[in-house]
Structure 1
Amino acid sequence: MVGKTEVHGARADRERQLPPFAALRAFEALIRLGGVRKAAQALGVHHSVVSRQVSQLEAWLGAPLLKRSAKGLALTEEGSRFHARISAAIGEIAQATHDVLDGEAQRPLRLWCSQALSIEWLAKQIVEFERRHPDMPIELRPSDVPANLHHFEADANIFKHFGDDLHETERGLKGHVLAQLPLLVVASPDLAAELSWVRSVADLLNAPLLHGAHTGDWRMWLIANGVDPPDPLPGELCWHPHMALESARLGRGLALGSRFFFQRDLEHGALVELSVEGATTRAIGGYKFVARDDRWSTPRIATLREFLGERMKSMEGPPTAVA
């Protein structure tokens, strides 16, 4: 025999539960819009789904909400009271959501990007983007590591990816390759003139190489060009890409990177591209825009992604050697 305390406890547990929200939405929309098909259209589902969800809600509650007859559907007395209360609750949820999204739209879109790309190229593009879209401010954060988008640390990331990582994105996120550019070998004009003896990729092993935070980029580029790099790889470790860039400007050695990194220095003549016979013009890796899958199509993220994609694509293609 079940005691009163157990019955009361079971009832209390059930009262703390909520029926499936999809079923609540279906029932609310059916009554508010006056029909199964209209509710289905508003919710973006087949009309049979609405009917099934309403029946599931009645089964969950253990009480009929609708009277079904040849003339159509009508609310039961209990269904009328239930609809009035959940309709108000769903309306409150919708308004609260609108308020949050409205506030979200007022703050800058937070974009994290690798430091080199941020400083040497992207910051200028963001100025132009905000000029075109004054209602879409961007907060650009140069970073060595991507933001945790799952935890809303930022709205989007732009970082360089290689291999399978370029075309595969972790679950819950969505990615788009903005551009794939070949890597350039650059030097100061004076050093480039001194290195006229460099004819092949293999010759570079005897030239003063500059490494940023690691030797990985040079090593990967040499392998892609058919040269087996020694270990350790010769050259100066500058510990940061911008230190390597500054060393290249000062004529201390050869730097390796994409046109995004060197664009301003190439335009102003501070650096020139070194002509290396037989060097590949094939892109190694690419810059990928990544955002949460559930926010991918929001106006600000979509507009920024398309804008940067167009800007980056215009720079793709084989580089032109000038030294």
Structure 2
Amino acid sequence: MTKRRLPPIKSLIALESVVRTGSVSAAAEDLSVTHGAVSKQLAHLEQWIGMPMFRERRRGMIANAAGERLAAAVGGALEEIEDALDAILVAERQKVLTVVAPATFAMRWLIPHLPALEMDGGEAGIRVRPTHTTEDWDALEFDLVVRRGEPLAGRLAPRPLFVEALGLLVPPALADVADTRQLPFVDAATRTGELARWCQRAYGGPPVRPARVYPHFYVAMEAALAGLGAIVAPVELLGPQLAQGALIDPLPAVRVPGAAYTIGVAPDGPNRSAAEGLARTMVREWHKVPAAVPVTP
């Protein structure tokens, strides 16, 4: 590591203050030190550099070209330090809420809606921690938790968010298959029975071909988006993909209910009040989603 070649910082600060304020007396007041202390630091600086920083031996305290250049550089550096400190202190004061949520919900709805949630939720920032089905989410630190298909303890003050409406979503590459029962399907091991229930409603039985099963739903969804198969999925979470034509909803009247999503708030967290506000904001933001075709249990 190369050692910095700098004169004493106090002497640099003294030079900047004298040049900025116009006199040793004003600089002494600016720095809350004595007149003699400022003069001593200026002398140290000139000795270290080996040249004067002021005209006519500092009479009138008018900086020469070297003094002006160095004082301007020190002033710019001090302003950058002040700006950095302001940013650090603002970030330290800002609350950051940790939201634990299922991976698919986090990726498909929560993260895309963060700008709106942060704008409506006040000054608190939001950090999202996606979870997989097999994870012990209750062992994680959080301010707010979103769970799918499982009840939350009363201590978390649970409130309902929505119930999935499951529909058939087909990639454009497979849209020309007239009989949707003949489609190749992709499915997720973490959503057991959803494809079977939807096919029972739509066809009265299973699809013609066994589905290709992936370990997680978001992996199965990527397979569907890649054109590898149709998927039965919560339509509400895939609005952008449907709007962009990345997926097609060929049977919008056929829906089956999926899992219910619930929001809970950590009872003893330091940000409980802000977390309660975020929970209310999430519910409001969710209800802005265009209504899906009602499901029939």
What TM-score results when the alignment is normalised by the length of structure 2? Answer: 0.58
3-state DSSP class of the match of 2:184? Answer: coil
Aligned with 1:139 (options 118, 127, 132): 127
Distance 2:261 2:111 in 1: 15
Instruction: Confirm or deny that 1:121 pairs with 2:78.
Output: no
In 2, are the aligned partners of 1:219 and 1:229 still within 8 Å (CA)?
A: yes
Instruction: Confirm or deny that 1:160 pairs with 2:143.
Output: no
Once the 2 structures are TM-superposed, how far is the Cα of residue 174 of structure 1 from its aligned partner?
Answer: 2.2
Instruction: Confirm or deny that 1:169 pairs with 2:152.
Output: yes
Aligned with 1:288 (options 232, 252, 262): 262
Q: How does 1:65-214 map to 2 (within 5 A)?
A: 106-133=94-121, 135-145=123-133, 148-149=137-138, 153-161=141-149, 165=150, 168-192=151-175, 194-198=176-180, 204=181, 206-214=182-190
Distance 1:107 1:191 in 2: 47
In 2, are the aligned partners of 1:108 and 1:139 still within 8 Å (CA)?
A: yes
Aligned with 1:240 (options 208, 216, 223): 216
Once the 2 structures are TM-superposed, how far is the Cα of residue 317 of structure 1 from its aligned partner?
Answer: 3.3
Aligned with 1:303 (options 277, 290, 295): 277
Distance 2:243 2:268 in 1: 40
Specify the alignment match of 1:318 in structure 2: 292
Once the 2 structures are TM-superposed, how far is the Cα of residue 114 of structure 1 from its aligned partner?
Answer: 0.9
Structure 1 residues 133 and 155: alpha-carbon distance in aligned structure 2, compared to 1, 3 A threshold: closer
Specify the alignment match of 2:26 in structure 1: none
Structure 1 residues 154 and 235: alpha-carbon distance in aligned structure 2, compared to 1, 3 A threshold: same
Count residues in correspondence.
202
Distance 2:293 2:252 in 1: 12
In 2, are the aligned partners of 1:181 and 1:316 still within 8 Å (CA)?
A: no
Distance 2:170 2:140 in 1: 40
The amino acid that maps onto 2:234 is: S
Q: 1:13-55: per-residue Cα shift (whole Å, max 9, x none)?
A: xxxxxxxxxxxxxxxxxxxxxxxxxxxxxxxxxxxxxxxxxxx
Aligned with 1:271 (options 225, 240, 247): 247
Distance 1:262 1:307 in 2: 20
Distance 1:270 1:261 in 2: 13
3-state DSSP class of the match of 2:258? Answer: coil
Once the 2 structures are TM-superposed, how far is the Cα of residue 315 of structure 1 from its aligned partner?
Answer: 2.5
In 2, are the aligned partners of 1:114 and 1:144 still within 8 Å (CA)?
A: yes
What TM-score results when the alignment is normalised by the length of structure 1? Answer: 0.53
Q: Which runs of 5+ in 1 are unaligned?
A: 1-102, 199-203
User: What is the RMSD computed on CA atoms of the aligned residues?
Assistant: 3.4
Structure 1 residues 215 and 289: alpha-carbon distance in aligned structure 2, compared to 1, 3 A threshold: closer
Q: 1:208-257: per-residue Cα shift (whole Å, max 9, x none)?
A: 11112445131343456684559xx8111122323222222222211121
The amino acid that maps onto 1:250 is: A
In 1, are the aligned partners of 2:184 and 2:228 still within 8 Å (CA)?
A: yes
3-state DSSP class of the match of 2:164? Answer: coil
Q: 1:127-180: per-residue Cα shift (whole Å, max 9, x none)?
A: 22223445111110111146654x66211211211xxx4xx4325332111112
